[in-house]
Amino acid sequence: MGDVAWIAVDWGTSHLRAWLMGRDSTVLDRRSSADGMGGLDRNGFEPALRALVGDALPVPVLACGMVGSRQGWAEAPYATVPCAAPTIHTAVSVPGTDLDVRVLPGVKQDNPADVMRGEETQIAGFIARNPGFDGIICLPGTHTKWVHTSAGEIVSFRTAMTGEMFALLSQQSVLRHSMGQGWDAEAFATGVDQTLSRPETLAASLFSLRAEGLLTALPGDAARARLSGLLIGAELASMRPYWLGQAVALVGAKALSAAYATALSAQGVPTQMADAEDMTLAGLTAAYAQLQGEAA
């Protein structure tokens, strides 16, 4: 391992990821732990960070994500749309530690009320990697964000809790008895079509997955894929002003982004994909480069 110049950190509710960075933005090492901010009190952050990357400290640390929330290590107040992606100059230095740790702020929208923490850094990374990009970025995940960007700024955004709804319904509701572990592309498409064209049918459609499991032995893979399709179709119906007539950049985990790409392409919407972790690192790197006066 070469000389570590700084450490990039993605610190969310349930994960802590760190990249040990060389002077020329090369990644020397990548590490992660389960010490998400959700399980830490204020005194737990420094030990968690030291446990993961203590051998490389002290070097500057730049972090994004829920670590900057009110319940995090240090609150980094939201920037308000329309605004540029976060810069190192708006980062908050964590007080009460000998370490040089800075946290990038999240972004809020006053009306309709919405917030993000972490995704703004992925957006910054995507824009840094795709200079001149102008348009819609969708970040599928637990809380999927739909973001309108223009001239390097976040103009507006909305959040759908589709990922969390899918997890709750497929793992904890009565539907869990009907779920497989696999996938059925046709069942997914059927679900998307239904709620995208008739979003009012969602409420009456979910329990059918259970009933069909009991009465017609609906395969578990089809049930799981149709549930995903019904929820994503309802999300697309809700977010139509974002994607209609647009191209959409999907920034997320591969399988989930692919599901969104399939659903959007059935509506004639072209998509491109980028990995969420890659974009987080790109965003942190772009912000750190501002500090160095280097090109990103």
The per-residue b/e assignment along 63-97, b for 16 or more CB within 10 angstroms, e otherwise, is bbbbbbbeebbbebebbebebebbbbeebbebeee
Continuous H helices in 119-245: 119-129, 162-171, 185-197, 202-215, 220-238, 240-243
**By the rule CB under 8 A, 160 interacts with a second copy:** yes
- What is the distance between the alpha carbons of residues 121 and 282, in angstroms, rounded to a whole number? 8
Smaller CB separation from a second copy, 122 or 195: 195
Per-residue interface string for the shown chain with a second copy, residues 68-107, x marking contact by CB under 8 A: ----------------------------------------
Residue of 295, 288, 289 lying closest to 64 (CA atoms): 288
* C-alpha 98: how far from chain center: 30
Smaller CB separation from a second copy, 43 or 172: 172
Please report, as residue ranges, which positions from 163 to 182 form the binding site for a second copy (by CB under 8 A). Answer: 164-165, 168-169, 172-175
Please report, as residue ranges, which positions from 240 to 259 form the binding site for a second copy (by CB under 8 A). Answer: 240
Smaller CB separation from a second copy, 3 or 164: 164
Please report, as residue ranges, which positions from 256 to 285 form the binding site for a second copy (by CB under 8 A). Answer: none
**By the rule CB under 8 A, 110 interacts with a second copy:** yes
Smaller CB separation from a second copy, 60 or 118: 118
- What is the distance between the alpha carbons of residues 116 and 86, in angstroms, rounded to a whole number? 12
The per-residue b/e assignment along 145-157, b for 16 or more CB within 10 angstroms, e otherwise, is bbbbbeeeebebb
Helix (H) or strand (E) holding 282: helix 276-292
**By the rule CB under 8 A, 27 interacts with a second copy:** no
Smaller CB separation from a second copy, 98 or 200: 200
- What is the distance between the alpha carbons of residues 201 and 69, in angstroms, rounded to a whole number? 37
Please report, as residue ranges, which positions from 120 to 149 form the binding site for a second copy (by CB under 8 A). Answer: 143
Q: Shortest gap between Cβ of 277 and a second copy (angstroms)? A: 21
- Stretch in the footprint of a second copy (CB under 8 A) among 23-31, 153-161, 186-194, 267-275: 153-161
Q: Shortest gap between Cβ of 108 and a second copy (angstroms)? A: 6
Q: Shortest gap between Cβ of 180 and a second copy (angstroms)? A: 17
Q: Shortest gap between Cβ of 141 and a second copy (angstroms)? A: 12
Q: Provide the 10 A C-beta neighbour count for residue 117.
A: 25
Q: Provide the 10 A C-beta neighbour count for residue 36.
A: 18
- What is the distance between the alpha carbons of residues 230 and 61, in angstroms, rounded to a whole number? 42
Per-residue interface string for the shown chain with a second copy, residues 186-215, x marking contact by CB under 8 A: -------------xxxxxxxxxx-xxx-xx
**Residues at the contact surface with a second copy, assessed by CB under 8 A:** 108-110, 112-115, 143, 158-162, 164-165, 168-169, 172-175, 199-208, 210-212, 214-216, 231, 234-235, 237-240
